[in-house]
Amino acid sequence: MKPILVLQHEATQGPGVLLDHLDSKDLPYWLLMSPLEGRTPASARDYSGIIVLGSDYSVNDDLPWIAREHALLQDAVQRHIPVLGHCFGAQLLARSLGAKVQRNSYPNIGWGQVWSSPYAQRVMGLPRRAVLFNWHYDTFQIPSGASRTLYGPHCLNKGFCLGPHWAFQGHLEVTADSIRQWCDYGHQELKQVYGPAAQDAEHILSGLDQHLSTLHLIARQTYQRWTDQLLERAGAARAQIHMPSLYAGQ
């Protein structure tokens, strides 16, 4: 199986429980700190899938590394290589599929309730209702041909899927340490942000273990379903390689 490419953009926004899943299933991966290392691949052909994590930047920022990642995801879509996007990664996937990314009506910071579509419940294993962790100001339109998988009261488009490409506006990968670090790193930001979907550090950290216990169940289920696709594709590719020719022996 080809490795999974994991694109990380901020030192404080690591892969968390996502990496735990990949390690527990002994799945090969390459974790690339994209902006710092400046080695974003030009092609997706060498990977079984691509996972894009969050960022402090907007996908609309005119920066070379964002342009390179945008081109990489377009290449992955053209090659039918599955993409999994978290927050910034979800917005970049939407943009790579031709959808617009714009400012949301309200900042979404902290714990927020979302609902899932019947399709998401059936295919992605998502519960009908869940509380996810968020930290975003932008939102995406649903790309042409894609299905909305998650929606919330203060951000309509919280997730979508288009075949093997899955997007989550929130963060499934976070841990207790990373959330505490985000609150510490963004303490000035949290003091200045207001709105019906914006929480302060006290609210975010209240009941943290209980929130994460539920969130991690959702994350493990989601990551299992998404990586199952990669294993199935790898198995099908191996079977095709070893399939005997109809003309063998003639």
pLDDT tens, residue by residue, 29-85: 999 998 888 889 999 999 999 999 999 999 999 999 999 999 999 999 999 999 999
Half-sphere exposure of 243 (CA within 13 A, CB side): 9
Q: Give the pLDDT of residue 34.
A: 85
Alpha carbon distance 94, 177 (integer Å): 29
For residue range 142-152, what is the model confidence (pLDDT) as tens digits? 999 999 999 99
Which residue segments constitute the domains of the chain, with CATH numbers given?
4-242 (3.40.50.880)
Residue 250 pLDDT level (bands cut at 50, 70, 90):
very low
Q: Give the pLDDT of residue 247.
A: 45
Contact 132, 149 (CB under 8 A): no
From residue 217, give the alpha-carbon distance in Å to each of 7, 89, 148, 224: 23, 21, 21, 11
Nearest to 73 by CA among 56, 60, 54, 92: 92
Q: Give the pLDDT of residue 146.
A: 98
Q: Span 202-224, mean pLDDT?
A: 97
Average pLDDT along the chain: 95
Q: Span 5-31, mean pLDDT?
A: 97
Structure tokens at 232: 């199935």
pTM of structure: 0.94
